[in-house]
Amino acid sequence: MTHIPRRPVLRALAAAAAVAALPARAADRLVATPRQTAGPFYPTRFPDDVDNDLVAVAGRRETAQGQILHLAGRVLDRDGKPVRGARVEIWQCDAHGRYHHVEQGWQTARIDENFQGFGRATVADDGSYRFRTIRPVPYGGRTAHIHLGIAGDGIVPLITQMYVAGEPGNAGDPVLGGIRDERDRNAVIVALHKLDGAEPSALRASFDIVLG
């Protein structure tokens, strides 16, 4: 019977196990949030009230029109670790389909002065962020969506968009449809759920942003 030295065998087995584990570790990594266009409606000027509550504008008694949405999530790297110090910006049209703080252009709908239109927040130590806004609405050939921008010291900036699961316009939206990979596309489509104990008919959404 031929004697096979023990140590080379153990080293070979360890090497084979390491190679076998590589695909699993790669598969465990989170899907990076796909980049999307900022569109023509990123603010050309910023509101005096820039915070994470877009429903209430400082100095105005009434709140924004539309169904209130509590949007929360985390900014993570692909290993699931929080990206500390990240700044999150969101901007979207109001309940009439009109963007704020931009050139008027083709926008003819009346504007909701009680909607902030743009918000900004810095993530907590665990990478979490939250905004109070309204459920996005479709406008001018686009499905309902919210723009999000991520930046910060040492962070490669990311601009993306969050879409609503089940929205009829999703199938024909040119920007969402530009994401060819189904897994990437699903990463920016978020389900909305009823939020008990908040404002009447309020919704909640969870959207984690993964920096690649």
Higher pLDDT, 11 or 165: 165
| All domains in the chain, ordered by first residue | 29-211 (2.60.130.10)
Quick one: what percent of the chain has pLDDT higher than 90? 74
Q: Is the pLDDT of residue 134 over 60?
A: yes
Residue 205: helix, strand or coil by DSSP?
A: strand
Q: What is the pLDDT of residue 105?
A: 64
pTM assigned to the model: 0.85
What are the tens digits of pLDDT across the range 18-41? 434 444 355 579 999 999 999 889
Q: What percent of the chain has pLDDT above 70? A: 85
Residues paired with residue 121 on neighbouring β-strands, in sequence order: 88
pLDDT in tens, 70-122: 999 999 999 999 999 999 999 999 999 999 998 766 666 789 999 999 999 99
DSSP string of 163-186, one letter each residue: EETT-GGGGG-HHHHT--SHHHHH
Write out the two tokens for 193: 């759920």
- Residue 54 neighbours by CB distance under 10 Å: 31
